[in-house]
Structure 1
Amino acid sequence: MKNLFFYIAFLYSSFLMAQIMPTGIITPPEKVVYTFQKEYPGKVPEWTIKYVGDDDDEIRYEAKFKANPNSEALAVYDNLGVLKAFESQIPLSKLPPKAQSYLKKNYSAKAIKEIAVVIDDKNKTTYEVGIQKDSKFYDVVFDKNGGFDVIVEKD
């Protein structure tokens, strides 16, 4: 009877672990690692995996690393090692003036939690500003000229 209980508990815990594993820290394919090392020599990334697309049918490998001592960066690759996006932390002063003005007018300085510049695989630049308001977290997105684009609620 004890053995049956332990067997069931072991089986149950392995199902739980299998559900948690896909979003954890991973080792990406060689093509992805090679491309990262070529683009960012000497940087040590922490790799995670995400599923994207309409049916979560596309894999993205995210390399989070220190761009310099004061800021972090995120490089996102597909499974062939093609860079899909690059995100880097920036100070408020690096935002376009139009975006700075919008933020000062609509949010308190304490609400701004993080600011990043994002460059996608089509070389489109956007700015994402993490805002915490009413215990919810939002990304306020601006175009390359600082024009307001959209607000996205984050989990």
Structure 2
Amino acid sequence: MKNVFLTFAFLCSGFLIAQEGTNMKKVITPPEVVKIAFEREYPGKVAVWSEEYVGDDEDEIRFEAKYNITNTTKAVAIYDNLGNMKAYELQIPFSQLPPRSQAYLKKNYAPKAIREIAMVVDDKKKTTYEVGVSKDAKFYDVVFDKDGGFDVSIEKN
């Protein structure tokens, strides 16, 4: 029985390690200038940091600070390597979407298809709403402008 348990534990840990490599970003420690910028903007918040390469040739680096606003609300602050904030994402409930966005989603997607909703403010202070939805075994980001008008739907891998 002990051997069966050990074999099972070994297989599970191997599966989890394999999943970590494919689905999760590597947790990192950002440059000091980025850390200071985050701490100045969000004093007392504890972030989990990851990095992502962006741009046409993936030659720009972004540092993502994921943290909790409350026990049920999460946020992400995204910085460049100089500590300049590039975007801020705040998890919001469906009821905080503009009415036009709510109407579009109700018409085009089943309620269970909606997976995540965020208000996004970029470095130019442009506000958009991003709604992650599942449809036909695919995942999409449906993007709305600040007034709730449909902007674009982007298929995610």
TM-score (norm 2): 0.84
Structure 1 position 149 matched with structure 2 position 147: no
Q: For the residues of structure 1 that align with 2:33 and 2:128, how far apart are their CA atoms? A: 27
Deviation (angstroms), 1:135 = 1.5
Q: For the residues of structure 1 that align with 2:129 and 2:30, how far apart are their CA atoms? A: 27
- Give deviations 1:97-122, integer Å, cap 9, x for gaps: 00000000111100001100000000
Deviation (angstroms), 1:33 = 0.2
Q: 1:99 — aligned with what? A: 101
4+ aligned runs moved over 4 Å, structure 1: none
Within the candidate set 127, 131, 135, 1:129 is matched to: 131
Percent identical among aligned pairs is: 63
Deviation (angstroms), 1:58 = 0.2
Deviation (angstroms), 1:134 = 1.5
Q: For the residues of structure 2 that align with 1:152 and 1:93, how far apart are their CA atoms? A: 22
Aligned residues: 135
Gaps of 5+ in 2: 1-20
Q: 1:33 — aligned with what? A: 35
Structure 1 position 87 matched with structure 2 position 89: yes
Within the candidate set 98, 107, 110, 1:108 is matched to: 110
TM-score (norm 1): 0.85
Q: For 2:37, what is the secondary structure of its paired residue?
A: helix
Deviation (angstroms), 1:27 = 0.5
Gaps of 5+ in 1: 1-18
Q: For the residues of structure 2 that align with 1:140 and 1:24, how far apart are their CA atoms? A: 26
Q: For 1:68, what is the secondary structure of its paired residue?
A: coil
